Structure 1
Amino acid sequence: MYVFAVILIAISIIAYSRQGVLGIFLSNLAGFLFGKFAVVVLGVFVLLSVLILINKKKQFISRRTIVAIILLLFALFLYSALDSITVETGKEILDAFLENTPKYFEEEITVPTYGGLIGAVLLSISTILVAKTGTYVVLVALVIIAALLLISLDSFKQAKESLKKFFTLPEKLMNMGVDEDQNEYEYYEDDYYDDHLEEPVIQQKYAGALDYETPSESSGKSIFMTLDPEPIAQKDNEVINNVEIISDTTVVETSSSITESSVYRLPGINLLDPIGGRTRSSVNQTSAREKSTKLLEILSNFGIEAELIATHIGPSVTKFEIKPDSNVKVNKILSIQDNIKMELAARDIRIEAPIPGKNAVGIEIPNVESTPVKMKEIITKIPNDKKNKPLMLVLGKDLLGRPVFCQLDKMPHILIAGATGSGKSVCMNSIITTLLLRTTPDEVKLLLIDPKKVEFTQYANIPHLIGPVISDSNQASNALKVIVSIMEERYEIFSATQVRNIQTYNEKVQQYPEDQTLKHMPYIVVIIDELADLMAVAGKEVELSIQRITQLARAAGIHLIVATQRPSTDVITGIIKANIPSRIAFAVSSGIDSRTILDHTGAERLLGYGDMLYLPIGEPSAIRLQGVYVTDEEVVRIAEYCSSQRKPMYDDAFIRLEGVEGNEGTAVITAIEDPLFQEVKDYVIDVQKASTSLLQRRFGIGYNRAARMIDLLEDMGVIGPVQGSKPRDVYIKKEDNE
């Protein structure tokens, strides 16, 4: 293709120059074929050849454009050939042109070329079919068809939108700074893609609106969902569970009336490590057959007759389902657990007697080889009807190899516990990574509390943060009080708007976009990495805040994920445990710790490295899973991608945590005590206008702080109330203030 383009350019240049014998011949040939528009045709050849050379794509120009160019050239040839008509019959026109063929190849051409051979042929055919008058009609039709092919309907739409924006721009410039109460959301779009982010911008509580389906409150389905009965890793290019991955990056467009930055691109799954082609281990299958036979022999030696009814090979554990005789006590099987472990030479075993809903006992034995569960494999298997749920989290695979998910707004809070090295931190990273991969900063806000100071450092600049990552235990206690304050404020808004929860409230926001008093509420997920440290510093205050959040915050869209590596009763108190019904237990050191988390033993038998027991709300017993494994490199790639999209915009209440006092969840210091208040008051009187966004821009403060000042100015009679789309009145004039 490239060679052809170079040859065509060379022929066109030689023909245009008319230098030498070859140049004269090629020029005469072009004139013979294309007539007096031969130069135009040679120019088109050169242009197309250059485009072929500079474009890597095979099809850089559409077929309709090629057809349009050909039709336009035919129209030119036909128009030029019309000058040669001396008779009415087409055959004589072609014969007259061909009689002068030798003269067209002389060094000096003495006869007119008109439309060339192509034009003569077209004119001959046209005059035979529709005569001379019809030829003019054909000529006009060719031009119109070519124009329609070149100018598509989309071009008309784009031109219309451009004109509309052009005529509305002066109006926007006139209104700028007047109706600023309607635009309380301030972003800096040009800064989102800076390689080096500046200091975070302080943000209001509620930002952005997205249209997503409200979770069904009346759904009777279980919290966990299982799919795909085969525990086999899929290759990258396979369609997993009939879920077609259209593209690696999803573009989310938000309403222009809510935020100036209209596009946020979700991280693509290409940022995750590839799955690889490893399938079910043949070593595990061979070992499972041997262990099943030996297991029945061991039971028989202890006088327990049983039959094997099923074998499930999971990622790290194989579960044998056995059905003992009806005269065998279940406790007898439990009593020989250590004997079975010794006879099978296993690291540890776990007996589930009986399996809930089955007439069988489950004996779980570690595999010879463990298969890691990759995030890329699981996140692509989220069911289509659950993809629009922003709080759908990825947990891992069960013993049948089926992916397991949890919907956080149905949980509605999670308690995670496990000893050091059990996989607790990886689980926390997988939860945060899932939220970053599936949600925008306008959908979900995160508050990360990291007393260990090293677990959440990679998330310091992600735009989903509602406040900076908190590592001081005293500030963490105050941050929980602010969350309580936000929860109470949301309930006041729900009461005023006559809705019951965040889902119906956001639906109402979508239904009435013209109502400026309704602002979209994002979900807030509070993640505490080490509860034990907080309880040691401010136990009563933390316990009270957690109690209030877990009891009341579900309808307000606030959810709590608490993790600890010391699951003792002084850390996981009865109040905390009673209000967090969903638990995840990793490997712990004793059965007492397991009972503290799950209310029964079993976690002390786990293997570590992501092996967990998951007890969702409403389930009678825990489910054993192999947790998703997310590498540090994957976490860094996803966090950096999100950070490059936007800067974190913090809520002002989380910047001034030292001002939070008392146990009632009071927010920051009052506006009247704010050192900026007098300056703000003087500024409003001086410029004779007031709005929350104006104060944010002028003084560089957050939405909450600016809103409190506006409310206080209204209470003091300095400014008037909100008047819909009209600006607030300023009652005190500049002269009176002086």
Structure 2
Amino acid sequence: MSGLWAKLMARKKIIKAFRSADLHLTYKMSDGNERLILPKIRNVTITDASTSITFTLPNGLDPKLLKKNFYVFEQYFGQNVELDGEVKRFTLTVNKGSLPKELNYNYVKLEPELEGLEMPIVCGKDCAGKWMIYDAITEPNCLISGEPGAGKSTQLRSILATLIQHKTPDQLHIYLGDLKMSEFFLFKDVEHVKSVCVYPEDMARMLAHIHRELKRRGELLNKHRVTHITKLPKAEPFILLAIDEIVMIMDDKQMKKQIVQITSLGRALGIYCILSLQRPSHDILDTKIRGLLTVRMGFRTTDASNSKIIGTPGSERISKTTPGRFLVKRDELTELQAPYLTEEDAEELLDKYKSDSWTDMFTKEVAKCSQSDSEVLTEEDVFYDATK
């Protein structure tokens, strides 16, 4: 197919999509007939990897209709489509490639993609072969959910392994909750990791410690009259709290309250959270918590109800034959393939970060937390208002 003919066919197809999705304005003519004002196609670019169609909406057409009717573009062009733009000008990209069935984790190849990111959270590759990696500095809290075998565990493993290789033990402190006793044992003895809690009483001490750290760091911001820990005269390490199967502690009102406060106040204080679970429910993930977990990764779920609770509708349709396939919800919903990191490979790459003198901060011998640990923090406790 010649380049000119391919462009004409792309134009014809997107005009059909506009009509099917009712993406137009309608004006009545003086003769009683109706005239449709469709989006104006500005440019069509075709490469070996993709076809991009840039168009502008007529004044008065709600741009929200594009996202609402995005499925129409998928029906006409297939599922490997992306839509970028805002208000008036948009580009629809039709990728000719497809998601890889498996994506092996390789930090050497991944490292150049991390440049300029303080706390890179590796998601995966899209159908165009591009990595999606975001910075926890700006998107501090993440929820990961999916059935056993869907890829949730290896996703957690690759995220943590990447951060450990990217940051020094002085720059990053990691606190892990593993009440199933099956996910985070690989990270014991790693210098960055301060604790791997497997019992609820240890988890309570760990959360109380991070809760105290919230207050201490908030007081530092107040004292120095700054809005983020990166602006303090003396550097503070970033803190990552990762808890697998969060459902096992959400019945504890005190721990639930502390998790809500950590996720709601931690951003400016350099404290970030990754929470994961297999089967979400409204009882476990109420609207308050879900509203704070702005990034959602939905691996294969049991049904549509679970996927909607996570915030990744459609993840129930992911095939069992494609482990590591998931939907990520940030500004929009995107299908990705997660990097695959085996236990054996993770153990090998983590070995050089381990210390023979490593001890867990929250063993059972640690004294019980004082009553002051359970006090409730407010934004006034944490942030300084320079206008006062």
Q: Same fold (TM over 0.5)?
A: yes
Alignment match, 2:243:
528
Q: State the 1:562 CA deviation.
A: 0.6
**Match runs of 1:463-612 below 5 Å:** 463-467=191-195, 469-505=196-232, 508-509=233-234, 520-535=235-250, 537-538=251-252, 540-598=253-311, 601-607=313-319, 608-612=322-326
Q: How far 1:355 moved relative to its partner? A: 3.2
Q: Specify the alignment match of 1:630 in structure 2.
A: 341
Task: Tell me, yes or no, if the aligned pair for 1:494 and 1:500 is still in contact at 8 Å.
Answer: yes
Distance 1:362 1:639 in 2: 39
Matched residue, 1:381: 112
Contact 1:310–1:320 (8 Å) recurs in 2: yes
Q: Which has the higher strand share?
A: 2
Aligned-residue Cα RMSD (Å) equals: 3.9
Question: Which amino acid in the other structure matches residue 602 of structure 1?
Answer: G
Q: Partners in 1 of 2:136 and 2:47 — Cα distance?
A: 28
Aligned residues: 325
**Structure with greater proportional helix content:** 1
Q: Distance in 2 between matches of 1:445 and 1:476?
A: 16
Question: Is contact 1:312-1:400 (8 Å) kept?
Answer: no
Distance 2:48 2:147 in 1: 26
The percent identity for this pair of structures is: 22
Cα offset, 1:659, TM superposition = 1.0
Indicate the SS of the match to 2:374. Answer: coil
- Superposed, 1:395-414 pairs within 5 Å as 395-414=123-142
Counterpart in the other structure of 1:64: none
Q: C-alpha deviations, 1:518-560, integer Å up to 9, x for none?
A: xx4211111101111122x42x223211111111112221111
* Corresponding position of 1:421: 149
Secondary structure of the 1:466 match is strand
Per the alignment, residue 369 of structure 2 pairs with 660
TM-score by length of 2: 0.70
1:648 paired with 2:358, answer: yes
Q: Which sections of structure 2, spanning at least 5 residues, go unmatched?
A: 1-8, 22-43, 58-64, 376-388
Match of 2:39 in 1: none
Q: Distance in 2 between matches of 1:336 and 1:626?
A: 22
- Residue 169 (structure 2) aligned to one of 422, 425, 441: 441
Q: For residue 521 of structure 1, give the secondary structure of its aligned residue in structure 2.
A: coil
Q: 1:409 to 1:552 in 2, by over 3 A?
A: same
Any residues of structure 2 matched to 1:145-224 within 5 Å, and which?
none
Distance, in Å, in 1 between the alignment partners of 2:96 and 2:144 is 22
Q: 1:430 aligns with which of 142, 149, 158?
A: 158
**Structure 1 residue ranges without an equivalent (≥5):** 1-291, 341-348, 510-519, 667-738
* Deviation by residue 1:103-148 (Cα, 9 ceiling, x = unmatched): xxxxxxxxxxxxxxxxxxxxxxxxxxxxxxxxxxxxxxxxxxxxxx
2:176·2:241 contact (CA, 8 Å) conserved in 1?
yes
* d(CA) in 2 for partners of 1:578, 1:663: 27
Question: Deviation at 1:401?
Answer: 0.4
Which digits, 9 at most, give the CA deviation of each residue in 1:610-647, with x for residues without a partner? 1122223xx2x122221111121221112221114x63
Give the Cα separation in 2 of the matches to 1:499 and 1:359. Answer: 39
1:465–1:649 CA contact under 8 A, matched in 2 = no
Q: What displacement does 1:424 show?
A: 0.6
Q: Is the 8 A contact 1:463 1:647 kept in 2?
A: no
CA contact (8 A) 2:98 2:128 kept: no
Task: Determine helix, strand or coil for the equivalent of 1:447.
Answer: strand
Q: Which has the larger Rg?
A: 1
Q: Offset at 1:470?
A: 0.5
Alignment CA distance shift 1:456-1:320 (3 Å): farther
Please report how far the alpha carbon of residue 602 of structure 1 lies from its aligned counterpart in structure 2 after TM superposition. Answer: 2.2
Bigger RCO (CA 8 Å, 6+ sep)? 2
Q: CA deviation at 1:476?
A: 1.6
The secondary structure found in structure 2 opposite 1:594 is: helix
**1:554-608 superposed Cα distances (whole Å, 9 cap, x missing partner):** 222111111111122122211111112122221212222222122x522223344
How many Å apart are 1:310 and its aligned residue?
8.5
Identify the residue that residue 41 of structure 1 maps to in structure 2. none
Check the 8 A contact 1:396/1:404 in 2, yes or no: yes
What TM-score, normalized by structure 1, do the two folds share? 0.39
- Is the deviation greater in 470-479 or in 578-587? 470-479
